[in-house]
């Protein structure tokens, strides 16, 4: 126990933000944007589309038409809420589970399927051309985000880099190194951790001794906030505050979105090996889509007819994307060399010719 | 035109690149007011300001990862790692991101970055300051690995590396940072990458090396000349991708080849060259390809390090043996 007589030289606090309760009732007055019914329904639509897309992707994987896939089940509000607060010219640096953010930003569904289907062309987004592709080595995109934000600052561009990763990633030095640098230079970057409680089979309590992940920002010299990550209104509000502050030159922010991964880690995982059905069942009561629907219905902003129309619309959109994905013609083998270097070095030209079936090496 | 050391030539190239292109940013530990531990960045911060000559926190992974992010935004970052022994945390970024972001995104994002680091033993430095693990880097697809061996080539190859649209690891031979001196005209002209340089022509045996070890290799060629053996000396300069045409051309001419590197033997870059010659030019060989390399051990600390590194004698012996083979 420290000497009570010693002066306190610093005190820190971490705030938690929540508006919508699991049943859709409100805990505190909603932020201004929530009075815009079209925005709220857009967030709702995006989450529903993501869930339907995920279900289809898993079905494709199970029938051998897609590779390993990571679902967003239960955490749809994070990707969608964060992306909805970004501007087109901002840059997103996503983790592999941030489909919802990519879709919101205009990446085509068939591009996402191509990526998970094992084709690099899926990363050639026709949408936001400066966004980074999904990052698989956990947390290694955080230093990129700092570099991107440094470029914005150097060029005096009012843009923000938004970097997303999971709770497991916060254990890596990469994330701390990037946050630390962002703090030093007050960079326009927002780090977002989707705390879904699990890193494959490892629970949060084995990942960190911290009470919150948000407090990790304190060591880097900026504000970390925790939000209810199953409340899309809270996620969007926190993201907006953070992004506006970053754009305004107030430096980086960190947002911890506390949510729950209701599904398996990926299609190669069986979560029942490491967590109980009871735990998952309990968490289903908090999931983000029903929560927002309850609110919208209660506010007469949403109806059964609209729900049915939305489902039909999403299914049609997903099916059309799947058709385009499946109809995508194969790349020729030699194209694996086409984007290796800006110009293929002479030393590898023969290997390319071999793949093309053009004579000997 | 003025006489300068290799490290001064590096400094000159950095200054020239920064002058010519506002997108060039230099970053690393102590690169600012201190000018880098070897003074490779001396004076740059005073001239170009702290935004473009940036002292980073002490975090190597960060330095390489920042370069990837900056480069994807169209800057031309030149990161410095103080010693090659501290480059290893960057491997993740080099393998997983820098070298493949172009390929992963089918050209949508690119990575025109340079990561510079002092390379090699022979400076009586503390542990972890004398690494020569270039083969590890040369194994990475999508990367370029460049090692200059003179002030002139340091200046012109570094300019080429900074202007190159792809990531380059630029290994600077620490042992000859100050020992190598030469004239360099600061005219902004680059030398081509991916090209080997024939430093000396000869018909009897080909000696292939890179970086600081060319000093011993050239001395060996002088010694062999006294015996009437005309050695051709090839400075590989770019290890990834390397100039197979020059290597094979020289070996076809001489029929004999000795590869010299201070890095450990097993899996060293010499093995790659020997395999290339075996595959493509076996019939022109008059003797087995020989390697004179560091031993398969950790580079020793100061008292023993000279025994690890190939000596002029070891090179001469190997070359003579090749010439006597019948
Ligand atoms: C550096 C690294 N180590 C290991 C893995 C294998 N792996 C893939 S996902 C994962 C768990 C990541 O958990 P978290 O960061 O919480 O993200 P989540 O999957 O929950 O979204 C691991 C260990 C990896 N991709 N990258």
SS3 A97: coil
Nearest to B239 by CA among B198, B268, B280, B218: B268
What are the structure tokens assigned to B294, written together?
């560091």
pLDDT (average), residues B289-302 = 96
Under 8 Å CB-to-CB from B317, ≥6 apart: which residues?
none
Q: Are B247 and B151 in contact (CB under 8 A)?
A: no
Please write the tens of the pLDDT for every residue from B68-105. Answer: 999 999 999 999 999 999 999 999 999 999 999 999 99
If we measure between CA atoms, which residue out of B159, B180, B183 comes closest to residue B235?
B180
Residue B259 above 90 pLDDT?
Answer: yes
Crossing angle of helices B6-20 and B151-163, in 10° steps, is 30
Q: How far away is chain A from the Cα of B79, in angstroms, using its nearest Cα?
A: 12
Check B62 against A143: CB less than 8 A apart. yes
* DSSP code per residue over A222-248: SEEEEEETT-HHHHHHHHHHHHHHHHT
Distance to chain B for A216, nearest Cα, Å: 17
Parallel, antiparallel, or unpaired for β A198-199 and A202-203? antiparallel
Q: What is the pLDDT of residue A1?
A: 57
Whose structure tokens read 């035109």?
Answer: B1
Q: Whole-angstrom Cα distance, residue B21 to residue B11?
A: 15
Q: Which positions in chain B touch A136 (Cβ < 8 Å)?
A: 96
* The dihedral sign for the CA sequence B45, B51, B54, B56: positive
Chain B contact present for A154, CB below 8 A: yes
Q: Which residues of chain A have pLDDT under 70?
A: 1-2, 360-361
Q: How far is A282 from chain B (nearest CA, A)?
A: 39
CB distance B62–A178 less than 8 Å? yes
Order of strands, sheet of B53-55, starting from the edge strand that comes earlier in the sequence: B53-55, B24-28, B76-80, B114-119, B168-173, B144-146, B238-240
Antiparallel, parallel or unpaired: β B168-173 and A253-258? unpaired
Chain A within 8 Å of B142 (Cβ-Cβ)?
A: yes
Residues in B closer than 8 angstroms to A146, CB to CB, are: 62, 65-66, 69
Q: How far is A310 from A290, CA to CA, in rounded Å? A: 14
Report the length, in residues, of chain A: 361
Q: How far is CA B246 from CA B57, B195, B233, B273, B276, in A?
A: 42, 8, 11, 12, 12
Contact A226, A258 (CB under 8 A): yes
- Does residue B49 have a pLDDT over 70? yes
Which tokens is B301 given? 């600390």
Q: A202-203 and A91-93: which strand pairing? A: unpaired
Q: In this structure, what are the phi and psi dihedrals at residue A346, rounded to the nearest 5 degrees?
A: -50, -35
Q: CA dist A212 to A13, A207, A226, A261, B127, Å? A: 11, 11, 8, 18, 39
List all residues whose CB is within 6 A of at least one atom of ligand 1. Answer: A 97, 136-138, 165-169, 194, 196, 198-200, 261, 265
**Mean pLDDT, rounded, of chain B:** 97
Which residues have a Cβ under 8 Å from the Cβ of B226 and sit 6 or more positions away?
A: none
Say what the ipTM of the complex is.
0.94
Residue A274 is among the residues annotated as catalytic for this protein: yes
Please report residues of B whose CB lies closer than 8 A to that of A148.
Answer: 69-70, 72-73
Which one of the listed residues A17, A265, A283, A291 is annotated catalytic? Answer: A265
Does the CB of A15 have a partner CB in chain B at under 8 Å?
no
Are B69 and A149 inside 8 Å of each other by CB? yes
Interface membership of A348 toward B (CB under 8 Å): yes
B61 touches chain A (CB under 8 A): yes
* CA B310/CA B260 separation, integer angstroms: 7
CB A198, CB A261: distance < 8 Å: yes
- Looking at residue B19, its pLDDT comes to 98
Q: Where are the alpha helices (DSSP H) in B53-122?
A: 60-72, 91-93, 101-104
Helices (H), B227-296: 244-254, 269-281
Q: Using one digit for the tens of pLDDT, what is the confidence trace for A195-251?
A: 999 999 999 999 999 999 999 999 999 999 999 999 999 999 999 999 999 999 999
Query: Do A147 and B242 count as a contact with CB atoms less than 8 A apart?
Result: no
From the CA of A137, how far away is ligand 1's center (Å)? 7
pLDDT attached to residue B265: 97
Say if CB B76 and CB B129 are below 8 A apart: no
Q: Which of A159, A261, A283, A291 is catalytic?
A: A261
pTM for the predicted model, two decimal places: 0.96
pLDDT value at residue A360:
59
| CA max distance for chain B | 63
User: Whose CA is closest to B301, among B88, B123, B37?
Assistant: B123
- CB atoms B108 and A181 under 8 Å: no
H/E run at residue A289? helix A288-298
Of A120, A149, A341, the CB nearest to B166: A341
Q: What is the CA radius of gyration of chain A?
A: 22
């Amino acid at each position: 126990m420290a000497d009570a007589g010693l002066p306190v030289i610093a005190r820190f606090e971490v705030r938690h933000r929540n508006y919508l309760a699991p049943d859709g009732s409100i805990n505190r007055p909603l932020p201004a944007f929530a009075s815009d019914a079209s925005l709220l329904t857009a967030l709702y639509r995006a989450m529903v589309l993501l869930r339907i897309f995920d279900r289809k992707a898993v079905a494709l994987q199970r029938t051998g038409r897609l590779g390993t896939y990571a679902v967003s089940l239960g955490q749809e509000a994070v990707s969608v809420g964060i992306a909805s607060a970004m501007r087109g010219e901002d840059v997103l640096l996503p983790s592999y589970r941030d489909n919802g953010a990519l879709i919101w930003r205009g990446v085509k569904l068939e591009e996402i399927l191509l990526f998970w289907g094992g084709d690099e062309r899926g990363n050639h987004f026709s949408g936001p051309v400066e966004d980074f592709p999904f990052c698989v080595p956990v947390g290694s995109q955080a230093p990129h985000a700092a570099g991107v934000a440094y470029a914005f600052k150097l060029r005096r561009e009012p843009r923000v880099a938004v970097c997303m990763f999971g709770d497991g990633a916060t254990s890596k030095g990469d994330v701390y190194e990037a946050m630390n640098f962002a703090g030093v230079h007050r960079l326009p970057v927002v780090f977002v951790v989707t705390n879904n409680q699990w890193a494959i089979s490892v629970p949060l309590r084995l990942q960190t001794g911290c009470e919150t992940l948000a407090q990790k920002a304190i060591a880097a010299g900026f504000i970390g906030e925790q939000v209810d990550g199953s409340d899309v209104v809270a996620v969007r509000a926190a993201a907006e505050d953070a992004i506006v502050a970053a754009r305004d030159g107030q430096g980086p922010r960190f947002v911890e979105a506390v949510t729950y991964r209701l599904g398996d880690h990926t299609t190669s995982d069986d979560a029942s090996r490491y967590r109980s059905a009871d735990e998952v069942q309990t968490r289903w009561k908090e999931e983000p889509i029903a929560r927002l629907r309850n609110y919208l219905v209660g506010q007469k902003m949403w109806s059964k007819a609209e729900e049915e129309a939305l489902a039909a619309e999403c299914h049609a959109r997903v099916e059309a994307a799947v058709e385009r994905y499946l109809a995508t013609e194969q790349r020729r083998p030699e194209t694996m060399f086409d984007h290796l270097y800006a110009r293929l070095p002479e030393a590898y030209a023969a290997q390319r010719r071999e793949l093309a079936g053009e004579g000997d090496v | 035109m003025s006489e300068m050391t290799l490290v001064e030539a590096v400094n000159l190239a950095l200054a020239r690149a920064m002058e010519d292109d506002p997108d060039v940013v230099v970053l690393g530990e102590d690169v600012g007011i201190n000018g880098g531990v070897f003074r490779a960045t001396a004076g740059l911060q005073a001239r170009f300001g702290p935004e473009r000559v940036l002292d980073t926190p002490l975090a190597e992974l960060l330095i390489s990862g920042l370069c990837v992010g900056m480069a994807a935004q169209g800057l031309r970052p030149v990161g410095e790692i103080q010693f090659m022994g501290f480059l290893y945390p960057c491997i993740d970024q080099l393998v997983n991101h820098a070298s493949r972001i172009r390929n992963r995104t089918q050209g949508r994002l690119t990575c025109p970055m340079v990561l510079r680091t002092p390379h090699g033993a022979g400076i009586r430095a503390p542990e972890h300051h004398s690494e020569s693990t270039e083969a590890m880097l040369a194994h990475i697809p999508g990367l370029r690995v460049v090692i200059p061996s003179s002030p002139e080539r340091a200046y012109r190859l570094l300019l080429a590396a900074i202007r190159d649209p792809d990531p380059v690891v630029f290994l600077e031979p620490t042992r000859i940072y100050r020992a190598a001196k030469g004239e360099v005209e600061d005219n902004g002209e680059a030398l081509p990458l991916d090209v080997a340089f024939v430093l000396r022509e000869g018909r009897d045996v080909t000696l292939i090396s890179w970086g600081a070890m060319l000093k011993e290799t050239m001395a060996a060629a002088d010694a062999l000349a006294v015996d009437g053996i005309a050695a051709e000396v090839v400075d590989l300069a770019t290890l990834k991708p390397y100039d197979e045409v020059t290597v094979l051309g020289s070996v076809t001419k001489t029929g004999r080849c000795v590869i010299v590197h201070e890095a450990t033997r097993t899996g060293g870059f010499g093995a790659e060259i020997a395999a290339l010659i075996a595959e493509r030019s076996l019939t022109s060989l008059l003797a087995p390809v020989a390697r004179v390399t560091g031993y398969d051990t950790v580079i020793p600390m100061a008292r023993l390090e000279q025994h690890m590194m190939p000596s002029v004698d070891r090179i001469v012996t190997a070359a003579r043996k090749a010439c006597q083979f019948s």
